[in-house]
Structure 1
Amino acid sequence: MSKVLIIGAGGVGSVAVHKCAQVPEVFTEIHLASRTKSKCDAIAKSVRERTGVDVATYAVDADNVAETVKLINAVKPDLLVNLALPYQDLPLMDACLETGVNYLDTANYEPPEEAKFEYKWQWAYQERFKEAGLMALLGSGFDPGVTNVFAAHAMKHHFDEIHVLDIIDCNAGDHGQAFATNFNPEINIREITQRGRYWERGEWVETDPLSWSMDYDFPEGIGHKKCYLMYHEELESLVMHIKGLKRARFWMTFGDQYLTHLRVLEGIGMTSIEPVEYNGQKIQPLKFLKAVLPEPGSLGPLTKGRTCIGNVMQGVKDCKEKKLYVYNICSHEAAYEEVGSQAISYTTGVPAMIGAMMMLTGKWKGEGVFHMEQFDPDPFMAALNKHGLPWQEVEL
């Protein structure tokens, strides 16, 4: 008997709840909470119609530790799955410590007043979780998440050392909108407009935002796409845990139309998180922009095409050079047909469910704060194939 409490009723939360309901032998009770209970109720209705499984729903302010503690004590879950915004990571970790509940999230904490993607705030919880005998699993999405597991899989089965790692994220889908983001616009735009950063020979090297690019020929007919170097949080833990890394980078594809809109919005200050005064009120331009952009959840029925996310890794095995590409391709249309969400939400929500399953079944266990690559990749890789994100690997 395993009881899970999921916080967050956006696209990723919706996918995770639908996928948990497909594995009733693990998730015997599913509880869903969000600031807006009506969003939880809509997800619960969809899950009941698709699977026949009932989901209990609640309203909670995830920034309010006391309120979350009260909910946890009422539900008494075995695991709290945080699929809210990254701003809420620390309050939810505090609530888990206070109530003695294990914790999982998909994105690292980010302070609301500064676009700063790093794990130092959550790593500071290591001793407290360890002393409490609790486990916190960080970044159980796709990137971070599956990309970390791909690296661990490659280390276990293909390399003695990985010297070069390139994580390449391609969304080859089209939603027909002039400008929209596939997940929370506020987080998405903060991520894209920050300075780039990569790991080279023991130190971090910074670049101007989106100033480095390369063309990559993606498999299975997706073809050539332009990819831009960005900083992504999984690099921070991978350089600590993957043996022999000399260079690690993260790349993401963007279309020309998207980048043109982004540059214009940035140029006129609409992507800023510095408050401005308007009609006697202080507002963040980016928060206003989020309010006028299409809701990511509305893109599900509109988006056609596929995503392709994977790791290109070079290293040595038995003193011989080797290059390996491990990747997943996910169809936007197939994801929408199965769970009512596009592939961006699907590729994050499915790994959140699988990470929760690893913890609840005891396949992954420990005391303290952990990253995905610190555990045996085999059961997670097998679950990806079984639950909708099949992977391929090819020697290059």
Structure 2
Amino acid sequence: MSKVLIIGAGGVGGVVTHKCAQLPEVFSEIVLASRNEAKCKAIAAQLSRPIRTAQVDADDVPALTALLKQEQPELVINVALPYQDLTIMDACLEAGVDYLDTANYEPLDTAKFEYKWQWAYREKFAQAGLMALLGSGFDPGATNVFTAYLAKHYFDEIHELDIIDVNGGDHGYPFATNFNPEINIREVTAECRHWEGGEFVTTPAMSKKAQFTCPDNVGTYNIYRMYHEELESLVVNFPTLKRAQFWMSFGDSYLKHLEVLGNVGMTGIEPINFNGQEIVPIQFLKALLPDPSTLGPRTKGKTCIGCVVTGIKDGQRKTVYLYQIKDHQDCYSEVQSQAISYTTGVPAMIGAKMMLEGKWQKSGVWNIEQFDPDPFMADLNEYGLPWQVVELDSFDLDS
């Protein structure tokens, strides 16, 4: 029986709160906090059990520390913005509370997703006897655990990793993002980095394209190589990897809109002066686009996200694909969300459950693949994200 404080009332925050509320034997008390408490109350009204809500600015360390000391949760589940990871970690250290997030820190003024800022907290958390679990979403998160699971059960050594994220959903808008528009667009427009030959190789954004056919009739999609933060920790924790790449599907309409918006400066992160007021173009664009949390009722189709790993087992080279498919409308009927938020929120709940049950518990700052993958994988099957494993006769995204 444990008390948790969830920070963030967007699409993912809603899913995490719903899923935690479904397990009162683990999450006996839930407090949902956000800068906008009205959003918290709207989520609370959807639930079949009572939770409490609070207003807090996650950028304000003293205010957040005061809330944590007042509530005394066992764990903070951070599903706020990546810009706020460090202030929330600071407040957890000050208040003596364990920490979990779904995405690594990104400075507000630099489009750069890296773990170095959070890894720098290792000694502080270890000395305080506290645990911080980084990246307990889907990618990063479940895909890291997929890699660890395959490495544990199917290989003696893993050499190549391709993480493939396909969203076959259609929301009907000419242009919209499935999660926070600001974060999404910064990710997609950033330079690509992939691991090869013992180092990260940089290439222009979206410059490498391939075609991928998903299993179970999900469809065939154009996928593009891009940088995603889980590669940074996976190549450290699986040093036998010779190549590691991340791929995501994008439709032609999305890419054309993004190209035009970029050309006219709407995806910029530098403030500009407009009629005497400073505005950040990408933040203004965010205000114009549909809120991702409203896409649930109109999004149809499926996601297909997984890892293709090639390596050696008993001296033989083999390739294995571990994947998860989720229907957008199934997610909406269960927790009033589309599948992008659902596939991030469920692993956040499971990571929290692992910590609270003591299955994953160790002082310091840890990436999710550093723990035993088996109980997490079992819970994915149990709580809405069933997965499959198939051995592939051949696999080649270069042809």
TM-score interval, normalised by the smaller of the two chains: over 0.9
Q: Select which of 380, 384, 388 maps to 1:384.
A: 380
Which residue identity lines up with residue 93 of structure 1 in the other structure?
M
- 1:228 aligned onto 2:233: no
Please tell me whether the aligned partners of residues 335 and 343 of structure 1 are also in contact (alpha carbons under 8 angstroms): yes
- Describe how 1:311-330 pairs up with structure 2 within 5 A: 311-330=307-326
Q: Which residue of 2 aligns with 1:42?
A: 42
Please tell me whether the aligned partners of residues 151 and 242 of structure 1 are also in contact (alpha carbons under 8 angstroms): no
Please tell me whether the aligned partners of residues 168 and 219 of structure 2 are also in contact (alpha carbons under 8 angstroms): no
Q: Which residue of 2 aligns with 1:103?
A: 99
Per-residue CA deviations over 1:326-346 (Å, capped at 9, x if unaligned) read: 000000000000000000000
Q: Deviation at 1:223? A: 2.2
Of the structure 1 ranges 306-315 and 214-223, higher mean CA displacement relative to structure 2 is found in: 214-223
Q: Deviation at 1:244? A: 1.1
Which secondary structure does the structure 2 equivalent of 1:389 belong to? Answer: coil
Q: Which residue of 1 aligns with 2:273?
A: 277
- Describe how 1:368-383 pairs up with structure 2 within 5 A: 368-383=364-379
- Describe how 1:12-27 pairs up with structure 2 within 5 A: 12-27=12-27
Q: Select which of 61, 70, 73 maps to 2:69.
A: 73
What is the TM-score normalised by the length of structure 2? 0.98
Q: Select which of 368, 389, 395 maps to 2:391.
A: 395
Q: Which residue of 2 aligns with 1:355?
A: 351
Q: Select which of 73, 76, 82 maps to 1:86.
A: 82
Please tell me whether the aligned partners of residues 195 and 206 of structure 1 are also in contact (alpha carbons under 8 angstroms): yes
Which secondary structure does the structure 2 equivalent of 1:209 belong to? Answer: coil
Which residue identity lines up with residue 182 of structure 1 in the other structure?
N
Which secondary structure does the structure 1 equivalent of 2:295 belong to? Answer: helix
Q: Which residue of 1 aligns with 2:201?
A: 205
Which residue identity lines up with residue 35 of structure 1 in the other structure?
R
Which secondary structure does the structure 2 equivalent of 1:46 belong to? Answer: coil
Tell me, in whole angstroms, the C-alpha distance in 1 between the residues paired with 2:122 and 2:88. 15
Q: Which residue of 2 aligns with 1:135?
A: 131
- 1:259 aligned onto 2:255: yes
Which residue identity lines up with residue 264 of structure 1 in the other structure?
V
- 1:178 aligned onto 2:174: yes
Please tell me whether the aligned partners of residues 80 and 103 of structure 1 are also in contact (alpha carbons under 8 angstroms): yes
Q: Which residue of 1 aligns with 2:397?
A: none
Which residue identity lines up with residue 235 of structure 2 in the other structure?
V
Runs of 5+ unmatched residues, structure 1: none
Per-residue CA deviations over 1:234-264 (Å, capped at 9, x if unaligned) read: 0000001114100000000000000000000
Which secondary structure does the structure 1 equivalent of 2:222 belong to? Answer: strand
Tell me, in whole angstroms, the C-alpha distance in 1 between the residues paired with 2:21 and 2:100. 18
Please tell me whether the aligned partners of residues 175 and 302 of structure 1 are also in contact (alpha carbons under 8 angstroms): yes
Tell me, in whole angstroms, the C-alpha distance in 2 between the residues paired with 1:98 and 1:247. 40
Which residue identity lines up with residue 260 of structure 1 in the other structure?
K
- 1:2 aligned onto 2:2: yes
Tell me, in whole angstroms, the C-alpha distance in 2 between the residues paired with 1:364 and 1:337. 31
Tell me, in whole angstroms, the C-alpha distance in 2 between the residues paired with 1:81 and 1:152. 23
Please tell me whether the aligned partners of residues 164 and 248 of structure 2 are also in contact (alpha carbons under 8 angstroms): yes
Q: Which residue of 1 aligns with 2:156?
A: 160
Tell me, in whole angstroms, the C-alpha distance in 1 between the residues paired with 2:260 and 2:237. 39
Which secondary structure does the structure 2 equivalent of 1:28 belong to? Answer: strand
Tell me, in whole angstroms, the C-alpha distance in 1 between the residues paired with 2:198 and 2:131. 29
Aligned residues: 392
Q: Which residue of 2 aligns with 1:115?
A: 111
Tell me, in whole angstroms, the C-alpha distance in 2 between the residues paired with 1:122 and 1:243. 21
Per-residue CA deviations over 1:104-161 (Å, capped at 9, x if unaligned) read: 0000000001101100000000000000000000000000000000011011100011
Which residue identity lines up with residue 122 of structure 1 in the other structure?
Q
Tell me, in whole angstroms, the C-alpha distance in 1 between the residues paired with 2:22 and 2:389. 27
Q: Which residue of 2 aligns with 1:169?
A: 165
Q: Select which of 196, 211, 235 maps to 1:239.
A: 235
Q: Deviation at 1:220? A: 0.6
Tell me, in whole angstroms, the C-alpha distance in 1 between the residues paired with 2:87 and 2:240. 35
Tell me, in whole angstroms, the C-alpha distance in 1 between the residues paired with 2:370 and 2:211. 32
Identity of aligned pairs, percent?
Answer: 64
Please tell me whether the aligned partners of residues 18 and 339 of structure 1 are also in contact (alpha carbons under 8 angstroms): yes
Tell me, in whole angstroms, the C-alpha distance in 1 between the residues paired with 2:240 and 2:135. 22
CA RMSD of superposed structures (Å): 0.5
Which residue identity lines up with residue 191 of structure 2 in the other structure?
R
Please tell me whether the aligned partners of residues 161 and 243 of structure 1 are also in contact (alpha carbons under 8 angstroms): no
Tell me, in whole angstroms, the C-alpha distance in 2 between the residues paired with 1:322 and 1:102. 39
Q: Deviation at 1:53? A: 1.2
Q: Which residue of 1 aligns with 2:396?
A: none
- 1:346 aligned onto 2:342: yes
Tell me, in whole angstroms, the C-alpha distance in 2 between the residues paired with 1:201 and 1:158. 23
Which secondary structure does the structure 1 equivalent of 2:5 belong to? Answer: strand
Which secondary structure does the structure 2 equivalent of 1:388 belong to? Answer: coil
Tell me, in whole angstroms, the C-alpha distance in 2 between the residues paired with 1:54 and 1:151. 37
Please tell me whether the aligned partners of residues 310 and 325 of structure 1 are also in contact (alpha carbons under 8 angstroms): yes
Q: Which residue of 1 aligns with 2:30?
A: 30
